[in-house]
Amino acid sequence: MKRKSVSIIGVPMDLGQTRRGVDMGPSAIRYAGVKECLVKLGYSVYDEGNIKVEIQERTILDQKTSLKNLTAVAEGNERLAHKVEEVISQRRFPLVLGGDHSIAIGTLAGVAKHSQNLGVIWYDAHGDLNTAETSPSGNIHGMPLAVSLGIGHPALTNIGGYAPKIKPENIVIIGARDLDTGERKLIKEKGIKVYTMHEIDRIGMTNVMKETIDYLKERTEHVHLSLDMDGLDPTEAPGVGTPVAGGISYRESHLAMEMLEESKLITSAEFVEVNPILDEKNKTGAAAVALISSLFGEKLL
C-alpha cells in the first residue's frame, strides 16, 4: 500500500435492497478487528465513524421509476462522497465498510474527484449494471456500476456534482455468475472487461489477477477495489443478502488480495454487503477482515 495512513469509513446503508441487517455490516467488520489488524501492519488508522443514513422502516417507491428509497440512498451517498473526498485530500487511504453495494455510488463519486482516469475492480457475483428500466428488483444496490458510468437516474448519476465518474474501459469485473439481460447487453455495448467464474475456473485466479493488473496498469492512474462479499462462495461467506452458488473461494480471494498488494495499484477500497443477521457467528465479517489484511500486506512468513 502506498499510503501509510488509513481512514475507516462505516456506511450503515440497508436501503439499496430490502433485506434487513446489512446496516450492521460496519459494526460486524469492526468487531472482527479491522483496526487492530491494520495497526499491527504498521498503519496509522483513523476510524471516522459512520456516515449518517436515514432509518426507514418501510420501503418508499419512487412513483415514476419504481426505484426503492431513492431519496434516502442519494442523500447518504452524497454525504459519503464528501467524506471520501476529504479523506483523500488528507492523503489517507479511504477504506469504506458497508452496508449494501449502493454505497459504491458515493465512494466512487468521492474517489473519482481526485482521479480523471480511475480504474475499478468490481469483485462480485453480480454486475450491478442495472438501471430502473432493466432492474428485476428496483433495488439500487444492483445499479452502482451503471450509475458510476453515468447511466441511470440523475439523482444518482449526479452525486458529487459531476458525471460520469468512470470509463467503461477502466473497469474489470471479477467473479460474475448472475447477470441480468440488460446487464449483459451493457457489458457488450460498452466493452467492459469481465472475468466470470468460467474464466476463473479455466485460467485460474493467478492469471485472472495478472491480466487484470496488467490491463489496469496500462490505462489508469489510481485503482479502486469494490469488493462485494457475495463474490465469494456462500459456503465461505454466508452473511450476504443475495448469495449465488459456485463462487470464488476464500483461498482464491486471499491470493487476489495478495497480488493486488504486490502490484501497489490500489488507492482506495470498499468491502460491502456483510449482513450479520444472515451470517454464521460473524464468519463473513471475519472473512472481510482477513481479506483486508492481505490487501494491506499481511504475510504468513
Catalytic residue among 14, 78, 273, 279: 273
Catalytic residue among 75, 78, 85, 124: 124
Catalytic residue among 141, 222, 224, 254: 141
Q: What is the nearest approach in angstroms of ligand ARG to the Cβ of residue 135? A: 5
CA atoms lying within 13 Å on the CB side of residue 94: 33
Contact residues for ligand ARG (CB under 6 A)?
A: 101, 126, 128, 130, 135-137, 139, 141-142, 180, 228, 230, 242, 273
228 is catalytic: yes
Q: What is the nearest approach in angstroms of Mn ion to the Cβ of residue 160? A: 20
Smaller CB separation from ligand ARG, 114 or 184: 184
* Those residues with Cβ within 8 angstroms of residue 63's Cβ, 6 or more apart along the chain or in another chain: none
Whether 230 has a binding-site annotation, put simply, is: yes
Q: What is the nearest approach in angstroms of ligand ARG to the Cβ of residue 127? A: 7
Q: What is the nearest approach in angstroms of Mn ion to the Cβ of residue 101? A: 4
Smaller CB separation from Mn ion, 37 or 256: 256
C-alpha cell at 13: 446503508
- Picked from Mn ion, ligand ARG, none, the partner binding residue 130 (CB below 5 to 8 A depending on kind) is ligand ARG
Give the burial string for 35-45 (b: 16+ CB within 10 Å, else e). Answer: bebbeebebeb
23 is catalytic: no
Catalytic residue among 23, 78, 100, 228: 228
CA–CA separation, 258 and 278 (whole Å) = 28
224 is catalytic: no
Whether 279 has a binding-site annotation, put simply, is: no
- Picked from ligand ARG, Mn ion, none, the partner binding residue 142 (CB below 5 to 8 A depending on kind) is ligand ARG
Whether 178 has a binding-site annotation, put simply, is: no
230 is catalytic: yes
CA–CA separation, 120 and 127 (whole Å) = 13
62 is catalytic: no
Contact residues for Mn ion (CB under 5 A)?
A: 101, 124-126, 128, 228, 230
Catalytic residue among 14, 75, 85, 126: 126
- Picked from ligand ARG, Mn ion, none, the partner binding residue 115 (CB below 5 to 8 A depending on kind) is none
Candidates 122, 67, 36; CA nearest to 298 is: 36
Contact 245, 285 (CB under 8 A): no
Contact 56, 17 (CB under 8 A): no
CA angle 285, 287, 288 (to 5 degrees): 65
Residue in the structure block whose three cell numbers are 453495494? 101
199 is catalytic: no
Whether 128 has a binding-site annotation, put simply, is: yes
Which residues are known binding-site members for Mn(2+)? 101, 124, 126, 128, 228, 230
Active site residues: 101, 124, 126, 128, 141, 228, 230, 273
